[in-house]
A and B are shown apart, each in its own frame.
Chain A
Amino acid sequence: MPNTQELQDLVFQVRRDILRMVHKVSSGHPGGSLGCTEFLVTLYNEIMDLKDGFDMDGIGEDLFFLSNGHISPVFYSVLARRGYFPVEELNTFRLIDSRLQGHPTTHEGLPGVRVASGSLGQGMSVAIGAALAKKLNGDDHLVFSLHGDGELQEGQNWEAIMYAAGNKVDNLIATVDRNGQQIDGPTEKVLPLGDVSEKFKVFGWDVLEIENGNDLEQVIAGLNEAKSRTGKGKPVCVVMTTEMGNGVDFMMHTHAWHGKAPSDEQLATALAQNPETLGDY
């Protein structure tokens, strides 16, 4: 049984990291980061089989690709807290000469990042390629990816979705963060996505849903279920409903905090809602 208390402590701490990172530089994307905190904390600390240290090829371990690169704050915090680089380095987020670029990149050699992302819609293709390499190498580890729901408006995703099913890329688990929001407003208003699960199903994927992606136990159960469905001839999609800005009351139920940093006062309010559990960086 997973220790959900430890994971919950990590979730609180990662939320604090996210808020402090974007506050310091008055830029970045807290909303989607906060919404995906339970997911990434669970993935890196409960689900993925990871080696110590980092090498680009990642042979003999599970891999993760963040396609919606703008939620870099949660990615960086989870990587640092997992030991990929010193947590103090979170202090350099978006600053000049930093390895923690606004959107993740391999260019500065940040351990844990295997491809640049930020220009949306490209991550699933890369994840498929990495999954195919694993098959060629006889490596039975898995490839995970995360995609924003608004990001599915990029056509390349549908090329990739068609390819993965048609070629039985069944060592891939692609999760869609269904928070229903994008920069210009609700996804169903900007460009309706409709029933995301049905869309993946008719393309030939095995689909499961996590009703509340901000409930740790649901995320753990959902991702374990997803793992159990790999290796059966179909790529696996997890459609995970989350609340953008989760954990900070005034950032929830709105798309306003997609790409906006809190003021000093707002930061204090937000931090008060997320206790310091493992020590701030």
Chain B
Amino acid sequence: MTKYTDQGKQDTRSGYGAGMTELGRTNPNVVALCADLVGSLKIETFIEESPERFFQTGIAEANMMGIAAGLTIGGKIPFASTFANFATGRVYDQIRQSIAYSDKNVKICASHAGLTLGEDGATHQILEDIGLMKMLPGMTVINPCDFNQTKAATIAIAEHHGPVYLRFGRPKVANFTPVDQKFEIGKAVMLSEGTDVTIIATGHLVWEALIAAESLENQGISAEVINIHTIKPLDEEAILASVKKTGCVVTAEEHNYLGGLGESVSGVLSSHYPAPQEFVATKDTFGESGTPEQLMEKYGLNNKAIEAAVLKVLKRK
């Protein structure tokens, strides 16, 4: 299988911050909003270099989403950022009416998604955000896997006209995709070709999928690993081409199995090419406090869980 090297652990939110820094320098229409979480979102440099293009809304996310919608009227490209929980569930109707239904070019940028937020616990660990956002007509949903890809995605969505939900996280994780990669919205990334099983992963689970694939290779199992950074629109062609070759699939995501990537993949397969699928995802539960590693282990979201899911799905072929 194709080998990937961790260039040094970094948090995906810093990838967002780096992308914003670049956009601040290159695109005068880009403006940033934040609801009292500037340090957590890593946008200090953008603010320092373009203070007139930053809007601090205070702890008032509903207002932030409305202001972002209004800023598009006049040609601005607002990046509204906060924790994923407050960027989605808390403000669903504001996003629905003022942004999505109103066709506004707002980028909703959400950090600290999922269990890897860690010790703060379930109040902050949203595992439903992908589902909430993908259900909105016209919303693009992106969950990049590492620092480099998050930076590239941040830059790419500024060029895309329409509402986007960009989801990333808190912990430092392996940074293994190429620096200065071209990010294509809606285009799956083939990480490693294989013949026995397809592993489709998104976000933090992509690196875990690569570790699992390596372990499986040692057991004589050839796994194809695909990074689906864009959950909507979904690259159906890439998914079908792979599953037609391997005959089964494991999906992996830091999200509830209801409403997540796995469900989207199921929809594609059941319509076009029914095949056995196993879900590495939370099983309709809230999280809890703990270290990210402990939580990913307890809730079955790491490379070991992916490997077990592969062994299970292979028996169903």
| Chain A residues with a Cβ under 8 A of chain B | 56-59, 63, 65, 105-107, 114-119, 121-134, 136-137, 139, 155-156, 159-160, 162-163, 166-167
Contacts and interface: CB of A to CB of B under 8 A. Distances in A.
A65 B70 CA distance: 10
A118 to B, nearest CB: 7
A115 B94 CA distance: 12
Contact of B102 (A57, A106, A166, A167): A106
Contacts of B74: 57-59, 130, 133-134, 136-137, 139
A254 B241 CA distance: 65
A107 B62 CA distance: 21
B6 interface: no
B97 A122 contact: yes
B67 A132 contact: yes
Interface stretch (B52-60, B167-175, B220-228): B52-60
A69 to B, nearest CB: 9
Given A125-B69, A129-B69, A156-B66, A136 B31 contact: yes
A132 B70 CA distance: 8
Given A137-B75, A163-B58, A105 B102 contact: yes
B98 A125 contact: yes
Nearest to A63: B73
Interface residues of B, number: 32
A106, A119, A133 interface centre (most CB from chain B within 10 Å): A133
Contacts of A167: 55
Given A57-B73, A63-B73, A132-B71, A124 B66 contact: yes
Nearest to B61: A159
Contacts of A132: 55, 67, 70-71
Nearest to B60: A159
Given A159-B60, A162-B60, A119 B66 contact: no
A117 B62 contact: no
B73 A133 contact: yes
B232 to A, nearest CB: 19
B63 interface: yes
A56 to B, nearest CB: 6
15 contacts: A58-B73, A59-B74, A107-B103, A115-B102, A118-B97, A125-B63, A125-B64, A125-B67, A125-B70, A126-B67, A126-B70, A130-B70, A132-B71, A155-B62, A167-B55
B70 A127 contact: yes
B210 interface: no
Contact of A130 (B52, B71, B93): B71
Given A106-B102, A159-B60, A136 B53 contact: yes
